[in-house]
Amino acid sequence: MKHFIFYRLFILGLLTSAVCLSAEARGKYDNTDTIVVARDGTGQFRSVGEAVEVCRAFMEYRKVIFIKKGVYKEKVVVPSWLTNIEIVGEDRDKTVITYDDHANVPLKETGLPMGTFRTYTVKIEGCDITLRNITIENNAERLGQAVALHTEGDRLTFVNCRFLGNQDTVYTGMQNTRLCFEDCYIEGTTDFIFGPSTAWFENCEIRSKADSYVTAASTPADIQYGYVFCHCRFTADEGIAKVFLGRPWRAYAYTVLLNCELGGHIVPEGWHNWKDYHDPAAERIVRYGEYGSTGNGANPKGRVEWSHQLSAKEAKAITKERVLNI
C-alpha cells in the first residue's frame, strides 16, 4: 500500500512539474519578441510545433515565428485559440515543412484508412494568421488524396509561399472564412484547390502535374464569392495537355478568373460537370466565369454554355476588398 501511495505521489509530482514547465515556457514567450526555429539548434526551438505550442492564446499583439532554412518533417496544427501569428521562412524554397500522409494510410486505432481530412501537413484553425516565404509540402506518393495545407480559420494570408503536392494539395476547409494568397505557387494533380471557403488568389502560379482538374469549389449557396483568381498564371508540367479549370464539388460552386494567363493545357470547354456531386440538370446554378483570359488556353467561344464570360462592368465589381470584405 505504501509503495502504491508513493507511486501515485511520484506520478502526480511529474505531472505538476510538466504543467509548471509548460506554463513557465508560455510566460517566457508572452511578448512581442520573435521566436526562432532552427533544425541545427541555433534557435529557441528545433521544430515548428514546439514554437507554436508556447504562444499565448488570443494574443492582442503580433507574434512572429521565424523559421531558419531546413526541412522540418512534422505535422503542424495552429489551434483555434491562437491569433495574430506570422510564420516566416528564411528562404521560400529552402524552408520546408513536409509530411507524407495520404488518405489510404491506416489509422493506428482502427486500421481503417485515415481519409482525406487527416492527411494535412499544416492545419490552421486560428484566425488572423499569416504565412510568408515558406514551403508547405505533402510528399506522399500518388496513392490517394494528400493535403499539404488545410485551413479552417478566418482572415488567413499567404504571401510568397509554395504549396506542393498531388491530389488535394490545398483544402480551404471551412465556409464563411476568408483567405488571401499573394505571389504563391500551388501545384497538384487533381482538385488541388478545393473546399467551401472564400479565397482570393493574386499573382499566383497554378501548376498542373496531370491531365485532370484544378479546382473543386464547394461554395455554399448563400455565400456570394468562392474562389477568385486575379492575374494568375495557369501552367503545367511537360506533356500535360488536358486540364479543366474546375469541377463543382457542390452545386453552387463559385470560381472566377480575372485577367489570367492560361497555358495550352487548359481544354477549350474549360469547365467540367462533376456528375458524382452535381445534378446535370442544375448546371446553370454553378457560378463559373472568366474575364480577360489570355494565352493558348483562353477560348471564350469554346467554353461550356453554362459558364459565363463576364462583362467589363461585372469584372470591375469583383475586387479584393469586396470578396474578402475588408
Of 100, 191, 222, 279, the catalytic one is: 191
Cα–Cα distances (Å) from 171 to 42, 106, 151, 219, 250, in that order, read 33, 21, 6, 13, 14
Which cell numbers in the block locate residue 207?
501548376
Residue 21: count of CB within 10 angstroms of its CB: 10
| Residues forming a β-bridge with 128 | none
Residues 326, 309: Cα–Cα separation, whole Å:
26
Q: Domain range spanning residue 161?
A: 2-324
Look up the pTM and report it: 0.91
d(CA 35, CA 145): 33
What is the SS3 string spanning 92-143?
CCCEEEEECCCCCCECCCCCCECCHHHCCCEEECCCCEEEECCEEEECCCCC
Neighbours of 205 (CB within 10 A): 16
> Of the listed 33, 168, 211, 279, which one is catalytic?
168
101 included as an active-site residue: no
Among candidates 254, 250, 244, 255, which has minimal Cα distance to 276?
A: 250
pLDDT of residue 276: 73
Of 171, 166, 173, 206, give the one whose Cα is nearest residue 190.
166
168 is catalytic: yes
Q: Please state the separation of Cα 195 from the chain's center in Å.
A: 10
Q: How high is the pLDDT of residue 126?
A: 98
The pLDDT score that the predictor gives to residue 19 is 42
- pLDDT on residue 277: 67
What parts of the chain have a pLDDT lower than 50?
A: 1-22
237 in Cβ contact with 262 (< 8 Å)? no
Q: How many domains does the chain have?
A: 1
Rounded Cα–Cα distance for residues 48 and 123 (Å): 12
Quick one: cell of 269?
A: 470547354
Where residue 103 sits, what CATH number does that domain have? 2.160.20.10
Within 10 angstroms of residue 24's Cβ, the number of other Cβ atoms is: 10
pLDDT tens digits, 43-56: 999 999 999 999 99
Cα distance between residue 145 and residue 228, in whole Å? 23
Helix, strand, coil % (nearest 5) of the chain?
15, 35, 50
